[in-house]
């Protein structure tokens, strides 16, 4: 039997083990990825058993992801190093690359391919949802620190995803709950918010996640549904050839463009390679069943580059002097930042 290719839809699970319905959805030809949340995690052994079950069920390549930024956004905690928020690395810039390596090595050791990181948003001091998830309020420093964090991830065997293109740091509202609008002109966004994206794209950034934010000076559609942002600016002007992951289509910031199938179609037409449908099982089932099953060699190439390449099991990793030193330094940084 021929192995299933990586499909264009990322789904989630309701609990820490696979249900019969989970197995059915994982086996759907449109499924390509699965994101794990805190509700799916108990301890590292359970996580490793879960990822094995997912891969055994798929009978083909599937991407497994998690949000493991640090600070407020760290889904795996018990048995994992507690990571400081991204803003803390401005206190010790030399730790950014080491932290990227440790985060990636720990995640890869339980057979999760990648974390949606780093956050490339420049903090403008107003965002409820970004805040200290940003590496800096200074665009140049944000670019330097995120590049270092990505180098660490890459050295551990993990691809990086820069988010939230073209920048979520200048809007106060949370796109999980509403649709933020950023009224600044493109020239201002270009000179500040796009700088970290430009720098990391030039260095080979593997993936990008666009924001559920409207920039009316550029387009009336949120960036993740906009051909202007994704095709004209990101692909053509910035020369990005990596994977584009939509942000979660269940967020209120996506609701204005239609029902879930409309959202999935519009995001795909705009240029998203992977469509996230999370925290709404019936919506995920509808998108899987109604979205046409298609083959796309460019999409497949971009998504396959996100597969993780782990170098250590957990037992071996924790015995390395490198992990022990970095873990201790991150603990000290957490205390200093607090």
Separation of alpha carbons 243 and 245, rounded Å: 6
Q: Which of 22, 111, 247, 248 is catalytic?
A: 247
**Structure tokens given for 204:** 């080979």
Q: Which of 42, 67, 176, 331 is catalytic?
A: 176
Contact 200, 143 (CB under 8 A): yes
Catalytic residue status for 61: no
Do you find a cis peptide bond into 230, omega within 30 degrees of 0? no
Give the number of other CB atoms < 10 A from CB of residue 126: 12
Catalytic residue status for 247: yes
The H-assigned helical ranges of the chain are: 20-26, 44-58, 96-108, 139-156, 186-191, 194-202, 227, 260-270, 281-290, 297-304, 314-319, 321-337
H or E element in which residue 10 lies: strand 9-12
The single-letter DSSP state of residue 59 is T
**Is residue 160 classed as helix, strand or coil in its secondary structure?**
coil
**Structure tokens given for 246:** 């939509």
- Residues forming the active site: 176, 247
């Amino acid at each position: 039997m021929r192995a299933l290719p990586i499909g264009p839809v990322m789904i989630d699970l309701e609990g820490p083990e696979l249900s019969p319905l989970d197995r059915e959805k994982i086996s759907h030809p449109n499924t390509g990825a699965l994101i794990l949340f805190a509700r799916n995690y108990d301890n590292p052994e359970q996580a490793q058993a879960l990822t094995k079950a997912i891969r055994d069920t798929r009978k083909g390549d599937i991407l497994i992801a998690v949000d493991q930024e640090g600070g407020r956004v760290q889904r795996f905690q018990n048995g994992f190093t507690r990571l400081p928020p991204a803003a803390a690395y401005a206190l010790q810039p030399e730790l950014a690359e080491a932290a990227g390596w440790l985060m990636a090595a720990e995640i890869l050791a339980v057979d999760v391919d990648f974390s949606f990181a780093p956050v490339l948003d420049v903090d403008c001091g107003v965002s409820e949802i970004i805040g200290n998830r940003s590496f800096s309020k200074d665009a140049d420093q944000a670019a330097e620190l995120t590049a270092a964090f990505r180098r660490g991830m890459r050295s551990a065997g993990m691809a990086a995803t820069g988010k939230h293109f073209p920048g979520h740091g200048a809007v106060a509202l949370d796109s999980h709950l509403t649709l933020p609008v950023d009224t600044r002109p493109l020239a201002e966004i270009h000179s500040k918010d796009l700088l970290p994206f430009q720098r990391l794209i030039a260095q080979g950034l593997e993936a990008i996640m666009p924001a559920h934010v409207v920039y009316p000076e550029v387009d009336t559609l949120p960036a993740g549904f906009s051909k202007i942002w994704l095709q004209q600016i990101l692909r053509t002007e910035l020369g990005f050839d990596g994977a584009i992951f939509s942000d979660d289509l269940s967020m209120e910031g996506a609701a204005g463009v239609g029902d879930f199938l409309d959202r999935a179609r519009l995001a795909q037409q705009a240029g998203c390679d992977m469509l996230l449908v999370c925290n709404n099982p019936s919506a995920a089932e509808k998108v899987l069943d109604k979205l046409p099953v298609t083959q796309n060699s460019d999409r497949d190439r971009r998504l396959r580059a996100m597969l993780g390449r782990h170098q250590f099991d957990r037992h071996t990793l924790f015995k390395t002097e490198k992990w022990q030193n970095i873990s201790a330094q991150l603990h000290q940084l957490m205390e200093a930042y607090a």
